Every structure is written in structure tokens, then in C-alpha cells.
Amino acid sequence: MKIGNFVSFRDVKLEDGFWQKKYDLNKNVSIFSVRDRFEETARFDAMRFNYLKTGKKPHIFYDSDVAKWVEGVAYIMEHDRESMKENEKLIDEMVDAMAEAQREDGYLNSYHQQIEPEKIFKIRTNHELYCCGHFIEAAIAYHHATGKRKLLDIMEKYVDCIIRAFVTEKTADFATPGHEEIELALYKLYRYTGEKKYADLAKHFLTRRGVAEEDRGYYDLKHSYATQDNADIYSLREAVGHSVRALYLYSAITDLLQEEGDVRLKSSLDSVWRDIVDGKMYITGGVGSTHRYEGFTLPYDLPNMGAYSESCCAIAFIMWAMRMRVVERNAEYGHVIERIAYNNLISPVSLDGKGFFYENPLEIAKEDYGREVACTPENREHLPIRQRVEVFHCSCCPPNINRWFAEMAEVACFDEDITYIEQYISCTANGKYGAIRIKENYAVDGKAEISSVNYTAGKIAVRIPEWCTTYTAVLNGNRVNGASEKGYAYFEVDEKFTLSLDFNIAPIFISANANVRANAGRVALCYGPLVYCLEGVDNGDRLNKISVDVDELSDAKIYSDFHGFNSIEMRGYRDEDNGKLYFNAKEKRTKEVTLKFIPYYAFANRGDTDMLVWVREK
């Protein structure tokens, strides 16, 4: 059940534009900065099995942190191996150490081998299979980029060990991973090597979830931290639990659907998709609204201040949406990818490429920090950090971002019977039907130009953005109307063509569903794919004093002054403090102010200041 494929990022060359800048920042700054922080925090040492030497204890998830970084390096090598020379050396030496440390039976985990060997495959929540999954992805990427088999061999040997422990000999004390990820990695390995046993193991893990007797002991955790054990994969109805794990699971289920075409799986996945997209997704594309178990709560529960909206979710959600697109021709998947890409995916990274957010709140009010003056540290309420940092104790997000930016050009084009332009990203893409060029300044002027380098399909489809109400298309200088279906417009084209699209971008205020309590009486300013926000540095702190009249947006001024993107100015109103705690509502006064909105993703790059996405309607 596959209707096509995304054009591999290996066949997409980013060209001058926003996304190339983001790509370069990752390649030139972030990947090195993350490496240095990982070196300092003994993450590489963990994989060098240096614990006895350094005394620095590995953590149960260190392998996965390193693996994601390796994967990112490998993807960058595909286009510029030279730039990663230093990193390649580091990786090769580390892989040598891993080969030496790998047990006779294939087992390989820096934490368990060095710290708790007696607990290997005994504790479901200990992330062993998750770590393995990430190293499988890294091994594939590294082999493809360098031709070096060593890491891939290590991981194939490890997977054989896992097959014995979980399938043939069943020596493991649990049946399915506490943290999903290996499932989708195994499908990747299967597709890369052609070895059916990897797909079989993935399916084994997927189909045992929620039903395996061996996991029963963990089932009382099903309403606790994390695991998606509430239903078997054929009966999913809603998104629950830890959201990164959930989205990796849904991705792997979609892989299984792609392989075997079982329509029950499509129905499961469709239910979960709707549950998220219709009620559990922030306007930024973020998901997972509670910090308590980093996860999904109930529909419409989308608090702004405490929005967890983990950076890893942005990536996992795009990964799933891409897989869904592979089984269904529907522009909605591209809409969601665009929403995430321009907001929750890029808000984690500082404009200088070094700092990262793990949580991506939609509101910061400094007044709330330390309000509980008499709290002990253990007793304090959870509030997200207000400035990005270079490394976390649990630093899953930074290397995930490293690898994702290195491969995300893959979201641009989808090859079916024709090419679908899924995302407007300046690039040249070499697909099944030849090469196409996309040129855009999409998030600034709402325009994109698609042209052939050489293109043979005779037809092309473009995704009409969700925010676009009317557009114009000009083909080789002539206004044309494309036939529309499921969010795509179709155009007949020659081998040589230029299609200019203007989606009539304009600022717009968005309301949320009446059930979203946090946004009652509030609006969010959007401009094309970008969600905007107010920051204290421009508008004064205590941003909830501010209200807007949505009808006055027509007078807004747009300045292309913000790191190549637009800032938007409009009239607003600020409640005045009359010194009284309570007073007759008729005495309430506001004063006119000029508001400056900036793209949400760029918040917290100009010092410690308040931020607000959902602004009160006057």
C-alpha cells in the first residue's frame, strides 16, 4: 500500500532561501556545537565504553543521543563529505570502540554493559531497544554516506541478538519496547538490506504491543508515564501517553500498513490522526500539552503557558505525516508538515544555531516565575525555561534537530504518477520524472515558482496551502486554472515550463475552537505558514494587558526587517493600571499602542522577555 515516494533528500539540492540558511546553520554551527557539548558531557565517552576510565556514568539514553548526531553527520556527508571530516574520524574511532565492546552475542548498550549488565533486557522502561533503533538509523545513514559497513554490521549483529531475546529464545523479561523507535528503524533496515527478518521483528513488536502477557506488569503504567499499551494497533482510537513515543509508534504502524496494506491499520491511524489534528495540536503544530508525562491529554486541552510541545515531537509528527502521505494522496499531510516546519520545528533552535528549547510554550509571563516565593525546589511548579540552552540532561532534542535539518529537504516533492510539490522550499529536486526547480520567498511574499530543469511527466501537482483562500497560477506567462482535488491543483506542463504561483499571502487573525478554554476570546496572528507572537522586548511585558481589534488588521504595516522575514505592526490596546485591585468595569481604561508581532519561531532571541501567541480580542 504505497502510492509513491518522497524524493530523497539525497536528490534534493537546497538553493538560496530560508531553508538553505537553516540547513547551513545546522551544518556549520549546530552539529559542531552539539558535538562539543556531547563530548563535555561524556556522551561520546559512553560509546567509547570509557566509564571505568573516566568515572562518568552513562545514562540509559546516551546511545540514542549520540546515534542521532551520527545520523545527522552522515546526512550532511551525502552532499559535502569534506565538511564532516573531523566528525567522520570521531565516528570511526567510536565505532571501533563499539565493535570491541559489543558482546559475543551481539548485545550493545553503553549503559547496561558498563553499569547494570545484570539488568539487560530485564526492565522495559530502560530504553535499550530505543537506543538500538536510533543506532540502526545511524548505521544505515553512515553506510550510505561513506560505504563503511562496520557500524551497520554491528547493528545487524545486535538485531540478531534482539531477535533471539524477544522472539526465538524469549529470554527477555518483557515483550515490547518501553520507548518506541526501533520499530520504524527496523523497517528502514529491512528496506535498506532487503532482509525480511527485520520487518518481521518490527511487526512482532508492533502486534505484541498492548496484548503481550509479558508486558502485563507494565500495564498499570499504561495510565502512567508513557507507554502506548492502551489498545492493540488495530484498535487505536485516540492519541495517548508520551507523545514522541506515540508518534514513533504511529510512524512504524504506517510502515507496516505500507508493507502489508491491512486496511484496519489505516482506520486506526486515521482515527488517531483526526484526534490529534482536530483537537490536540497547537497552532504551531506542537503536540503533547503536559509536562507531566510529556504527552497527550484530552482534546482541546491546549494550555499556552505550560504547552510542553516537545521539540522531538515536531520531528516525529513530520515523520509520521510523511508516511501517511505515502499511503494517501491528501494535501492535509503537507498542511500539517508546513505548520510544524515553520513553527514548532524551528522554534527550538536559537537564531545563532547553538541554543535549543526542549519545550516550546506559546506564552511566557516572567511574572509567573518564582511567584510561589516560599516553595522548596522539589515543590516548585513546573515552568519551561525562558532562554535556550546548548545541552540538557535529557538532550534528545538537539541531535534530533541535527539529523532532521540534514534530511528535511525530503519533504519538498512527492513522486506518484506525477510529481507533487508538497512544500515550497527553494531547491532543485531530481525525481522519478526528471528535475524540477522550486524558487520561493514563500513565507514573506506567499509566492513560489516551479520550473522544469527537465521534466517528463506531462503533469504536475502543487499543494494549495491551507491558509490560502485564492491563488493565481501563471504557466509560461499565461494565467491558468488548475483542476483541484484534495488540496492539490493539477497543471498540464511541457518538458520545459515555468509555473508561477501567488497564494495571496496576508496577515490574518485565527480563532481556536470554542472548546479550547485557553484561547477563549483570543486570536493568533498568522501570516502564511508562520504563526506570529508578541514579545515584551517590543511591546512591554505583561502582554495580557494587550488586546486587539481584529478589524484593524487591515491597517497593519508589514516590514521585511526580521532576519529576512516580516514583522507586522498594528494598533493595539493596553489596559491601564488605575491602582485599584477591583473597580467598576465602566471605569476601565485602555490606551492605544502600536504592537509589533514577530514570527513565533524566533521568540526568546533578544533577551529574557515575555511572549504571547494568543492575544485578547478587544
- Minimal distance in Å, beta carbon 235 to a second copy? 17
With CB under 8 A as the contact rule, the residue among 62, 205, 218, 296 that binds a second copy is: 296
State the binding string over 224-253 for a second copy (x if CB under 8 A, else -): xxx-------------xxx-----------
Nearer to a second copy, 192 or 369 (CB): 369
Residues in 324-353 at the binding interface with a second copy, rule: CB under 8 A? none
Beta carbons within 8 Å of 594's beta carbon, 6+ residues apart: 569, 570, 571, 572
Residues in 503-562 at the binding interface with a second copy, rule: CB under 8 A? 508-517, 520-521, 523-524, 542, 544-545, 547, 550
Nearer to a second copy, 80 or 378 (CB): 378
- Minimal distance in Å, beta carbon 369 to a second copy? 10
Distance of alpha carbon 363 from alpha carbon 283, whole angstroms: 13
Residues in 581-610 at the binding interface with a second copy, rule: CB under 8 A? 581-588
- Minimal distance in Å, beta carbon 247 to a second copy? 15
Q: At what angle do helices 128-146 and 182-193 cross, to 10 degrees?
A: 30
**Closest CA relative to residue 442, chosen from 422, 418, 456:** 422
**Closest CA relative to residue 63, chosen from 123, 107, 119, 124:** 107
Residues in 365-404 at the binding interface with a second copy, rule: CB under 8 A? 365, 367-368, 370-376, 379-381
With b for 16 or more beta-carbon neighbours within 10 A and e for fewer, the 315-328 pattern comes to bbbbbbbbbbbbbb
Which amino acid belongs to residue 454?
A: N
Count residues contacting a second copy (CB under 8 A)?
71
Nearer to a second copy, 216 or 264 (CB): 216
Nearer to a second copy, 300 or 497 (CB): 300
Nearer to a second copy, 300 or 490 (CB): 300
- Minimal distance in Å, beta carbon 459 to a second copy? 31
In angstroms, the Cα distances linking 513 to 46, 280, 350, 523, 582 are 47, 11, 31, 11, 31
Nearer to a second copy, 113 or 330 (CB): 330
**Closest CA relative to residue 522, chosen from 366, 467, 514:** 514
- Minimal distance in Å, beta carbon 568 to a second copy? 15
Question: Cell 560505504 belongs to which residue?
Answer: 147
Distance of alpha carbon 163 from alpha carbon 439, whole angstroms: 47
Applying CB under 8 A, which part among 4-12, 148-156, 360-368, 471-479 lies near a second copy?
Answer: 360-368
Nearer to a second copy, 211 or 305 (CB): 305
- Minimal distance in Å, beta carbon 37 to a second copy? 29
**Closest CA relative to residue 518, chosen from 313, 289, 340, 242:** 289
Contact, 561 vs 596, CB < 8 A? no
H-helix or E-strand spanning residue 112: helix 110-114
Distance of alpha carbon 296 from alpha carbon 409, whole angstroms: 28
Nearer to a second copy, 137 or 535 (CB): 535
Distance of alpha carbon 354 from alpha carbon 349, whole angstroms: 7
Nearer to a second copy, 262 or 552 (CB): 552
- Minimal distance in Å, beta carbon 364 to a second copy? 12
Residues in 261-280 at the binding interface with a second copy, rule: CB under 8 A? 277-279
Phi/psi of residue 379, nearest 5 degrees: -100, 0
Would you count residue 196 as binding a second copy (CB under 8 A)? no
With CB under 8 A as the contact rule, the residue among 119, 223, 486, 606 that binds a second copy is: 223
Number of neighbouring beta carbons within 10 Å of residue 147:
7
Q: How far apart are the first and last CA of the chain?
A: 50
- Minimal distance in Å, beta carbon 488 to a second copy? 21
